[in-house]
Amino acid sequence: SLTGVDVRAEIDRLRKERNAVILAHYYQKPEIQDLADFVGDSLELSRKAAETDAEVIAFCGVRFMAETAKILSPDKVVVLPDMNAGCSLEDSCPPQQFAAFRAQHPDHIALTYINCSVEVKALSDIIVTSSSAEKILSQIPKDQKIIFGPDKHLGGYINRKMGRDMLLWPGVCIVHEAFSETELLKLKAQHPTAPVAAHPECPPHVLDHADYVGSTSGILAFAKDFDGDTMIVATEPHIIHQMEKAVPHKNFIGAPGADGNCNCNICPYMAMNTLEKLYVALRDLEPRIEIEEEIRLKAKKSLDRMLAMAS
């Protein structure tokens, strides 16, 4: 039992004792974001994981993010506070089916969103994040045939924006899929001057109403820069914590789901991590990410291409 344990003080003590760095995604609970050594989007977090000289990475995010850290820093101990913190995009793309899809399209290269398993990364040519996808795609000749998975909304958005016709795997993020266009239009009517910033994992009927579309770090930058006092945020609402810290005089409203509030857009996987589980992970150095070396090396190839092409 953790009764009587000062969890925050213990996390601080253990991170020094273990020479650990605590990395957190913007979708983590505010109390986790606030004690992390670094908070960022998927690309920034993978760069940090590749560069750190800490011996332990405590990754407060979902499993594919912690796996990415382990692929890039195999000699480090990587712990994830809750090993069940998965991702609906990863679940939508089983490696065997993805391999069959690739085999059906032998003249296509596979450009793959980082939200997938190690096995799917190993079957891919180049990994992208939402903040790097356009930059990376612009370096690939227009006549190159491409399959893009697992997020069909991100893939469709990039296809439309960049005039490409990548073949899309039919995966979705359950969180971004849950925004309601009707409720969003009602909210916009109440705040007619408020811009809408949306993550490209949103379906097209939400992106159609967005003034800005970008990754979590892009949305955060937009929140700091836009002229005005109120903004509607169409992504996981825990990112609002960073906005309120950065520009406390502005008002941020989470885009609603069908029930009219933003609570159904909390990522259930991200929410599995808690301060208590982080404390236990630092104390026991478990649960640990382990990846078989042969598959790690294959996955690393496609991730290294991302890091090189995104820089």
Cα separation, 119 vs 298, in Å, equals: 9
Annotated ligand binding at 180? The verdict is: no
Relative orientation angle of helices 63-72 and 42-51, to the nearest 10 degrees: 30
130 binds, among ligand SF4, ligand 13P, none (CB under 5 to 8 A by kind): ligand 13P
174 binds, among ligand 13P, ligand SF4, none (CB under 5 to 8 A by kind): ligand SF4
Structure tokens at 47: 């760069």
Binding site for ligand SF4 (CB under 6 A): 62, 87-89, 115, 173-175, 201, 236, 267, 269-270
Annotated ligand binding at 113? The verdict is: yes
Annotated ligand binding at 267? The verdict is: yes
102 or 236, CB closer to ligand SF4?
236
11 or 150, CB closer to ligand 13P?
150
Q: Give the helix ranges, DSSP H, for the chain.
A: 7-17, 30-35, 42-51, 63-72, 88-91, 95-104, 118-122, 133-137, 152-162, 174-177, 181-190, 204-207, 216-225, 240-246, 275-284, 293-310
Binding site for ligand 13P (CB under 6 A): 41-42, 115, 129-131, 173, 199, 201, 215-216
- The number of angstroms, rounded, from the C-alpha of 172 to the middle of its chain's C-alpha atoms is 13
73 or 215, CB closer to ligand 13P?
215
Position 81, amino acid: P
Annotated ligand binding at 201? The verdict is: yes
For the CB of residue 157, give the shortest distance to ligand SF4 in the complex, in Å. 14
33 or 129, CB closer to ligand 13P?
129
Our CA dihedral for 44, 49, 53, 55, rounded to 10 degrees, sits at 150
Annotated ligand binding at 153? The verdict is: no
Annotated ligand binding at 132? The verdict is: no
79 or 175, CB closer to ligand SF4?
175
Q: Report the 3 state secondary structure along 138-207.
A: CCCCCCCCEEEECEHHHHHHHHHHHCCCCEECCECCHHHHCECHHHHHHHHHHCCCCCEEECCCCCHHHH
215 binds, among ligand SF4, ligand 13P, none (CB under 5 to 8 A by kind): ligand 13P
Q: Which residues fall in the annotated binding site?
A: 25, 42, 87, 113-115, 130, 173, 199-201, 216, 267
Q: Which residues fall in the annotated binding site for [4Fe-4S] cluster?
A: 87, 173, 267
